[in-house]
């Protein structure tokens, strides 16, 4: 039998969408303080917010009428009509925060406007609301006691005090990165835990929050392009990090999560220059027309939706690609930790135009472990160690891309077509990408319900024993990025090209393949002519450099 839920149950369900743990209370109250134009915000907590939370601000405060309305659901000063959702500039706007906190805690609000001789205090105990005069400071103080005292099941799912405290600290750090013009203080159990003093620049706030070691690695780029304003702080490939913890996105000063597509477009550029297990440090401040962003898609406003996300991705891709261009491949080396480092000093010209000159400049010493090529450069007295397979992959990748972009793919026709079948689920996905595969030189036809016939493939890919494995690898890589391969995804031809070429390039010169000195020299000469020679298509470095001086120092000569 269907029944309408009681009001208190409805209210608790609604509150649960907004308030899951102490961090949600802290976040909502800080956002309210920022929207009230506060320049000083102090957060005091006990037992990581489970027992007590107090947020003090010096904002505009509320009068008695607004205070009374502030705890009602959907009571807000930020919007009046539905279409106002398209013009939101404030952090909060739904009017659910205080109403939700009221339902799951003991709430007290003290507030005073700047023009008033006194303010008002609202208290809620045992569901009885009282409003009395208050003679405190200008601004607002919100106190929350005994969070979830009436929702014991929610209490059980709270994490340890340390975990909940760390969540609060991280949020205050993030909101501090967004608003460098505000003082934030966090006091836990009467001890000052965090203090971020307002400053006159973003980089100073970044240094304050994330440390000087990190901020010194950052480069800054800002631009205004078609109603989009970007202020980007980023690490270059030679300063890549071991994890992705230092990546932040702010849209109209609101901290939000990176969407999958924005992160993907950034990594597509970085992965041309850094190893696969490295990550960029990135703080991206985006200001955009409020009508082009929907911030109402997530109950806690952690995610937003952009109207022209593809244009933003194209812009970011172009910006980072331009920032990372390096004139000389051998200005890039790889350290023992596989980190690409850019040397500022000019290295002797090693990138030569033909093999004859190359032979006069270098001496091929040999190979070690059947993997790495050792080359001595006589001009600059340096030893270069090349990863044979990574170098070959980069060369094959760029040559294949050149042939694709210039419609010059040379096809290796199969004398005896390769026929293979596969599970129905995979066959359906192959059928979706089949037209693009054909355009990219992998000539494939349907040969039955879940079978296919391979008629040819690009000759640049070398001697492939079975093109079936390349095709299945392409589908596997697509699955890793998209759970549902459909026509909309396949329309992103550039993305598919990347996946196809990277999958196919596994068939380049292998690590243990024997090469003559002349073949090695030719391989290196082809590598240095590549557009992005520093890493293979999968992000692994292609070379390591060691100077004669470094060797002397190591052996204490």
In this structure, are 213 and 302 located in the same domain?
A: yes
CATH of the domain at 297: 3.30.230.10
pLDDT of residue 19: 83
Please report whether residue 380 resides in a domain. Answer: no
In this structure, are 238 and 176 located in the same domain?
A: no
In this structure, are 147 and 261 located in the same domain?
A: no
In this structure, are 221 and 305 located in the same domain?
A: yes
Please report whether residue 49 resides in a domain. Answer: yes
In this structure, are 101 and 184 located in the same domain?
A: yes
Comparing C-alpha atoms, which of 259, 519, 545 is closest to residue 380?
545
Question: What distance, in Å, lies between the first and last C-alpha atoms of the chain?
Answer: 89
Q: In the 8-state DSSP scheme, what is residue 349?
A: P
Please report whether residue 192 resides in a domain. Answer: yes
Assigned token pair, 64? 């008695």
CA atoms in the 13 A half-sphere facing the CB of 488: 3
In this structure, are 206 and 192 located in the same domain?
A: no
Q: Which residues contact 405 (CB under 8 A, 6 or more apart)?
A: none
Low-confidence stretches of the chain (pLDDT < 70) are: 2-18, 74-95, 275-276, 294-304, 325-361, 477, 479-512
> Which among 293, 324, 355 is the end of a domain?
324
Please report whether residue 52 resides in a domain. Answer: yes
Q: What stretch of H or E contains 323?
A: helix 309-324
> Which among 282, 303, 324 is the end of a domain?
324
In this structure, are 212 and 179 located in the same domain?
A: no
Between CA 553 and CA 549 the distance in angstroms is: 6
Tell me the sheet residues that pair with 142: 55, 109
Q: What are phi and psi of 294, to 5 degrees?
A: -110, 110
- Strand-pair category, 332-334 with 340-342: antiparallel
CATH of the domain at 82: 3.30.565.10
pLDDT of residue 485: 54
Buried b (16+ CB within 10 A) or exposed e, 58-67: bbbbbeeeeb
pLDDT of residue 503: 64
State how far the alpha carbon of 88 is from the alpha carbons of 16, 72, 97, 171, 172, in Å. 24, 20, 17, 22, 22
Rounded (10°) angle between helices 161-178 and 202-210: 160
State how far the alpha carbon of 438 is from the alpha carbons of 83, 449, 463, 486, in Å. 47, 19, 19, 17
In this structure, are 292 and 178 located in the same domain?
A: no
Please report whether residue 550 resides in a domain. Answer: no
pTM: 0.65
pLDDT of residue 215: 92
**Number of residues assigned to the chain:** 557
pLDDT of residue 2: 63
In this structure, are 308 and 253 located in the same domain?
A: yes
CATH of the domain at 405: 3.30.1370.100
Q: Which domain holds residue 259?
A: 202-324
Please report whether residue 117 resides in a domain. Answer: yes
Q: What is the 3-state secondary structure (H, E, C) of 200-250?
A: CCHHHHHHHHHCHHHHCCEEEEEEEECCEEEEEEEECHHHCECCCCCEEEE
Q: Which residues contact 208 (CB under 8 A, 6 or more apart)?
A: 176, 196, 197, 199
Domain count, the chain: 3
Comparing C-alpha atoms, which of 214, 235, 221 is closest to residue 278?
235
Please report whether residue 345 resides in a domain. Answer: no
312, with CB counted inside 10 A (0-12, 13-18, 19+), is buried
In this structure, are 444 and 482 located in the same domain?
A: yes
In this structure, are 189 and 207 located in the same domain?
A: no
- Tell me if 388 sits within 8 A of 367, measured CB to CB: yes
Q: What stretch of H or E contains 306?
A: strand 305-306
Between CA 69 and CA 61 the distance in angstroms is: 13
Please report whether residue 268 resides in a domain. Answer: yes
Between CA 424 and CA 427 the distance in angstroms is: 5
Between CA 547 and CA 557 the distance in angstroms is: 14
Q: What stretch of H or E contains 553?
A: helix 548-554
In this structure, are 190 and 241 located in the same domain?
A: no
> Which among 261, 296, 324 is the end of a domain?
324
């Amino acid at each position: 039998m269907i029944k309408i839920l009681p009001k208190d149950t409805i209210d608790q369900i609604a509150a649960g969408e907004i308030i899951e743990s102490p961090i949600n209370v802290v976040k909502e109250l800080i956002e309210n303080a920022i929207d009230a134009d506060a320049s000083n915000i102090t957060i005091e907590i006990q037992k990581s917010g489970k027992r007590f939370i107090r947020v003090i601000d010096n904002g505009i405060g509320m009068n008695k009428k607004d205070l009374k309305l502030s705890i009602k659901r959907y009571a807000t000063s930020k919007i009046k009509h539905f279409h106002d959702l398209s013009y939101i500039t404030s952090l909060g706007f739904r009017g659910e925060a205080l109403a939700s906190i009221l339902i799951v805690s003991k709430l007290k609000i003290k507030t005073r406007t700047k023009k008033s001789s006194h303010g008002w205090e609202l208290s809620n105990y045992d569901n009885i609301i009282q409003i009395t005069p208050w003679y405190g400071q200008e601004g607002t103080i919100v106190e929350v006691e005994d969070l979830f005292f009436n929702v014991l099941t929610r209490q059980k799912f709270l994490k340890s005090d340390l975990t909940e405290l760390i969540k609060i600290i991280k949020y205050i750090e993030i909101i501090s990165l967004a608003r460098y013009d505000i003082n934030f203080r966090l006091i836990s159990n009467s001890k000052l835990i965090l203090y971020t003093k307002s400053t006159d620049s973003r980089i100073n706030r970044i240094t304050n929050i994330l440390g000087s070691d990190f901020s010194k690695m950052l480069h800054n780029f800002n631009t205004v392009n078609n109603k989009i304003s970007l202020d980007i702080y980023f690490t270059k490939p030679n300063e890549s990090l071991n994890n992705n913890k230092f990546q932040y996105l702010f849209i109209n000063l609101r901290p939000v999560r990176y969407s999958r597509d924005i992160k993907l477009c950034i990594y597509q550029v970085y992965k041309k220059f850094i190893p696969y297990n490295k990550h960029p440090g990135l703080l991206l401040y985006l200001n955009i027309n409020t009508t082009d962003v929907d911030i109402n898609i997530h109950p806690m406003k952690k995610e937003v939706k952009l109207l022209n996300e593809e244009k933003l991705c194209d812009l970011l891709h172009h910006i980072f690609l331009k920032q990372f261009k390096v004139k000389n491949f051998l200005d890039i080396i790889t350290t023992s930790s596989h980190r690409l480092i850019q040397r500022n000093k000019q290295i002797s010209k090693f990138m030569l135009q033909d093999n004859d000159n190359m032979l006069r400049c270098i001496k091929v010493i040999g190979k070690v472990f059947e993997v790495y090529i050792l080359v001595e450069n006589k001009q600059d007295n340096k030893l270069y160690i090349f990863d044979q397979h990574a170098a070959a992959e980069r060369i094959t990748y760029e040559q294949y891309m050149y042939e694709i972009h210039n419609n010059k793919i040379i096809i290796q026709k199969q004398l005896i077509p390769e026929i293979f079948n596969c599970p129905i689920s995979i066959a359906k996905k192959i059928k979706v990408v089949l037209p693009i595969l054909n355009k990219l030189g992998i000539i494939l036809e349907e040969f039955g319900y879940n079978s296919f016939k391979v008629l040819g493939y690009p000759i640049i890919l070398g001697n492939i024993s079975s093109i079936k494995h390349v095709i299945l690898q392409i589908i596997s890589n697509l699955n890793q990025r998209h759970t549902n391969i459909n026509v909309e995804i396949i329309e992103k031809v550039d993305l598919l090209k990347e996946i196809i070429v990277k999958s196919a390039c596994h068939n380049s010169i292998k690590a243990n393949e024997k090469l003559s000195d002349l073949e090695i020299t030719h391989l290196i000469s082809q590598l240095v002519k590549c557009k992005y020679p520093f890493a293979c298509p999968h992000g692994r470095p292609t070379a390591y450099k060691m100077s004669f001086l470094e060797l002397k120092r190591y052996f204490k000569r």
